Structure 1
Amino acid sequence: MGPTCLYQGYNSYLSVVVMRPPLLLQVFSVIVLLLRGPLLPAQTPPRPTEHGLRGQYYAGKSFEKLVLTRVDPAVNFDWSRRQNGPGQPIQYFVAPGPDVPSTWFSVRWTGFVLAPKTGTYTFTFTSDDGMRVWVGGRQLLDSWVDQPVTRSSATMNLTAGRYYSVRVEYYQVERDTKALLAWQLPGTTAEPVPVPTSNLYVSLPAAAQPFVAPAPKAASADGTIRIVSAPPSKAAPTTATPVKPTRGVAVAGKLPGGIGLQATYYAGSVRGAAVHSRVEPVVNVTWNGAAPAPGVPGQGFSVRWTGYLVAPESGTYVLHTE
C-alpha cells in the first residue's frame, strides 16, 4: 500500500491511495469527502521563503548513501581546486562538504525557478562528470556519463511570474569536478550567467503560480486499461453522461472504451449507499456547490475514482493533489 496524502482546503478533505503492483499497470483509488465544516485544525502560517536549491549529497555515484543536506545558493561549483586565501596552499579535488567524499559522490538539487521575463530561455550546462536537468517537468539534459568538462545547452519557453520546478542530478568519479546551471534571458545576446539565487526557491511561496505541465493525451483502449466496477454491495446505476467540470477539460460525447476512471458517487461517506456511477476522463473538477451528478446532493457527498494508470516511462513520478 502506497502513501496516503491529506490536504485541507475550504470545507474539503482529500485522500489519495496509491498501490503499486509489480506489473506495468498502476492501480489507484481516489476518495473525496465534502462536508460542511473544517475537519482539521487551522494550518500554521507558512514559513518564510528561502532562496536557493536544496542539495542532497551522497557517497557513491548513484545516490547510494545520503551524507549531507543543505541549501545551496545556485548550481555553480568547481571543486577541482581551492585556495582559502593569499599565500595559502592550493588544495586539489576538494570535498563539497562535511562527510562528502572528494571523488565518487553524487548530488541532487531540487527547488523552483521564477521566470523574470516571458520568452525563450537558453539554459547552459557545464559538467564533469555526469549531469541530468529537468525544468518544469521537462528533461533538458541527459548526459549521465563519465566525461571531461563538457558544455551543452537547451532552450525552453517560460512565462514571466511563473515558478517552474527544477531538478539537477550530478555525479563525479575522479579528478576534475565541475557543475554549473546557467541561463541566457530572452532577447539578450550576453553570455549565459549562473541562474541567480534571487530567482531560485527551495519551496514555493504562498502566493506562487506554479507551472503545470499539460496532461498527455490518453492512449487508445487496447486491453491494457480497464474500468474497475464498484463493489457489488454498493452497485450504482451507470450512465454515459459526459462530465462537464466548471474548470478543466470538458468532454463532449461518450468516452472511448476503457479510457478514464470509474467515478462512484455516494450520499454521505463512502460507507453509505452509492447513488450514481459513470466514467470520467480526469480528476479535475470544481463544483462550486452544484450537484456533481444526478441524485447526488450539492453538499455532504463523497466520490471514489478507481481504475488503472499506465506509466509512459520509467522514473520518479510526483503526484499532486488539490
Structure 2
Amino acid sequence: MQNLTALSLKTELGKLYVLDQTLLPQQQKWLLCQTVAQMIGMIKALQLRGAPAIGIGACLLLAYRASVGESREQLLQDAEVLRAARPTAVNLMNNLDSMVIALQQADFKGAAIACAEHLFAEDVALCQRMAEFGAGLVQDGEQLLTHCNTGGLATAGVGTALGVINLAHQQGKNIRLWVDETRPLLQGGRLTAWECQQLGIPYQLICDNMAAMLMARGQVDRIFVGSDRIAANGDFANKVGTYSLAVLAQYHQVPFYVVAPHTTVDLACTDGSAIPIEQRHADEVRGVSGGFGSAIWAPEDAPVFNPAFDVTPAALVTGWVLDSGVYSPADIAAGVLQQFNN
C-alpha cells in the first residue's frame, strides 16, 4: 500500500495510523490501528471522526488486513462489523460497499488495496471541488459562521465546510469566521479552532447559544456547515445544533449552506425522518473530558438525552454545495440528487 497522508489518517510502510482527535489541541498523538476492534473503538470514542474520514479509515484498515493475509471471507465479515460502527454517517456504508465489490475480485488483496487508495484520492479531489464551488459564494469582507469540525480532520482532503472557508481565505477575501464551540464534545472549540490557527484563518470562538445575538446584530453574512447524511429530498443530518442554526438563519435572513461530497447522499432515505440518529453516552452531557482533563457538573445519575446529530429540513437550506456544483432548493425539488446513486 502507498504511503498516504491526511490530517487525521496516514499509512506508512503499509501500516495505518490514526491521529487521536480526543487529545487535540493539547496533544498530537498517532495511534497504530491494526484490528477491526481497534478501528471500531476509535470511531466510537471519536478518536477518528468526520463522515468521510471514518469511511476511508475503515477501508484503509481492510486494505491493511488484506495485505497481511486475512481471508476474503473474514474481510467480508469485517466489513459488515465496521458498517455498524457509526449509524448516521452514510459515507462509511458507501465506502464499504465499494470495498465489498473489490473483495469479490479474483485478486481480492490487490483490489482491496487499490480500492482504499482510490477512495482516499477521490476524497481529496472531492474536497477540492467543493471548496472551489463554495468559495465562489463568499464575498470580500464577509463574516462567516460554522458549526462542529468540517476541515482536514474530518476528511482525507481539505475538508467540507471548512475547506470552503479556507479557500475563501486563501483567495484574499478578508473573511472573518465565527466558530461554534459545539456542545457537548466541543469539536468546534477543540478542533476547528486548532485547524484555523494552523491555516491562519481569522476566527473567534463562541458558545453555541451566542449565534442568534450575532445574527441579530448583522455580524453573520453566511453560514457553512457539513453533513453526515443527505436524504433524497435535501433534508440532512449534521452535528446536533445545526438545525437550531438553520432556524435562526431563516429568521435573520442569513444564507445557510450545507457542504458535503456526493458520497454523503443517501437516496434510500426519502426524507430526514428516515435518517438514523446515533444516541451517545450520558456522561458526555453530564460533564466534559479530553486531553485537557475531565469534570462532571451534573448529578452522576442525571437522566440525559444525547443525540449526536439532528436533522435540518431542506426548506431551511439556501444551497447544497456538492463536488459537482451548488444546488438550489428548486434543483433539489426537481430531483437533482437522484444522479448520485452511491
Normalising by structure 2, what TM-score? 0.22
* Bigger radius of gyration among the two: 1
Higher normalized strand content (fraction of residues): 1
Q: Which has the higher contact order (CA 8 A, sep 6+)?
A: 1
Normalising by structure 1, what TM-score? 0.23
